[in-house]
């Protein structure tokens, strides 16, 4: 899909196509659409990022709270969005043993109790071993730093989802 096609989409089509770029955040795609025309994928991406960057801390934490836990209850119940399912599967989370699942659930709970939002990580850039390691490390980071790290991970997730939609190649950052 090229950027001319994106710019020509009516409201409903744009929201249908881009509504899942930022996990379960219904306001972002409609707000971004009103910023068109976009010059290219990078420009479109910057509008998605700018929306979250401009939110107060409570709103940014809200964006994070829409993200399902990695290897969490929604995965077990088959309730993930198609995008999350693909990402968590790529990181090996769909084939965990019971002990590993319980351990990750405990880490998820500890992280959420400390920060107030779920642990966010771009699963497609990670693997089964790195996810718990990174989660254990980040549990000890100062909360303000951790909010920034988590929002940075959401941007990595969004960047790849956008690149998938536009059929282009996302860089590794
Ligand atoms: N909590 C969290 O990071 N969830 C996610 N990460 C990702 O890449 N896909 C998700 O669902």
The answer to whether residue 143 sits within a structural domain is: yes
Q: Which of 30, 39, 38 is nearest to 10 (CA)?
A: 30
Q: Any catalytic annotation for residue 67?
A: yes
Please give the pLDDT value at position 170: 62
Measure 8 CA to ligand 1 centroid, in angstroms: 30
Q: Which atom of ligand 1 is nearest to the CA of 153?
A: 3
Please give the pLDDT value at position 152: 98
Q: Which atom of ligand 1 is nearest to the CA of 80?
A: 11
The answer to whether residue 82 sits within a structural domain is: yes
Q: Which atom of ligand 1 is nearest to the CA of 126?
A: 8
The answer to whether residue 109 sits within a structural domain is: yes
Please give the pLDDT value at position 163: 94
Phi-psi region of 73 (alpha: psi -120 to 50; beta: other; left: phi over 0): alpha
| CA 17 to each of CA 8, 10, 73, 85, 91: distance values in angstroms, whole numbers, following the listed order | 13, 11, 27, 18, 25
Greatest extent of the chain over all pairs of C-alpha atoms, in Å: 50
The answer to whether residue 170 sits within a structural domain is: no
**CATH number for 144:** 1.10.3330.10
Q: Which of 164, 104, 112 is nearest to 128 (CA)?
A: 104
Burial of 133 (0-12, 13-18, 19+ CB in 10 A): exposed
Give this complex's ipTM: 0.97
The answer to whether residue 46 sits within a structural domain is: no
The answer to whether residue 15 sits within a structural domain is: no
Please give the pLDDT value at position 86: 96
Q: Whose CA is nearest to atom 3 of ligand 1?
A: 120
The answer to whether residue 93 sits within a structural domain is: yes
Measure 85 CA to ligand 1 centroid, in angstroms: 9
Measure 64 CA to ligand 1 centroid, in angstroms: 10
Report how far residue 88's alpha carbon sits from residue 122's, in angstroms, rounded to the nearest whole number. Answer: 9
Please give the pLDDT value at position 51: 97
Please give the pLDDT value at position 173: 55
- H or E element in which residue 101 lies: helix 98-115
The answer to whether residue 135 sits within a structural domain is: yes
Cis peptide before 37 (omega within 30 of 0): yes
Domain count, the chain: 1
pLDDT averaged per 10 residues in sequence order, the chain, 173 residues:
95 97 95 97 96 97 96 94 95 89 90 94 88 86 93 97 86 55
Q: Which domain holds residue 112?
A: 69-156
Please give the pLDDT value at position 171: 57
Measure 109 CA to ligand 1 centroid, in angstroms: 15
Are 120 and 156 within 8 A, CB to CB?
Answer: no
Task: Select from 20, 23, 146 the residue to mutate for testing ligand 1; criterion: most ligand atoms less than 8 Å from CB.
Answer: 23
């Amino acid at each position: 899909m090229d950027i001319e096609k994106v710019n020509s989409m009516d409201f409903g089509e744009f929201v249908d196509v881009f509504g899942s770029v930022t996990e379960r955040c219904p306001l972002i795609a409609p707000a971004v659409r009103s910023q068109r025309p976009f010059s290219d994928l990078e420009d479109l991406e910057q509008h998605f990022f700018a929306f979250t960057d401009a939110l107060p801390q409570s709103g940014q934490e809200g964006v994070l709270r829409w993200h399902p836990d990695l290897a969490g209850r929604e995965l077990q119940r088959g309730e993930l969005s198609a995008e999350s399912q693909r990402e968590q599967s790529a990181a090996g989370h769909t084939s965990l043993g019971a002990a590993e699942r319980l351990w990750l659930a405990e880490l998820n709970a500890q992280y959420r109790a400390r920060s107030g939002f779920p642990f966010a990580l771009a699963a497609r850039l990670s693997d089964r071993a790195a996810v718990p390691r990174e989660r254990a490390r980040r549990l000890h980071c100062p909360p303000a730093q951790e909010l920034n790290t988590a929002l940075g991970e959401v941007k990595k997730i969004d960047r790849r989802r956008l690149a998938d939609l536009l059929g282009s190649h996302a860089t590794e950052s």
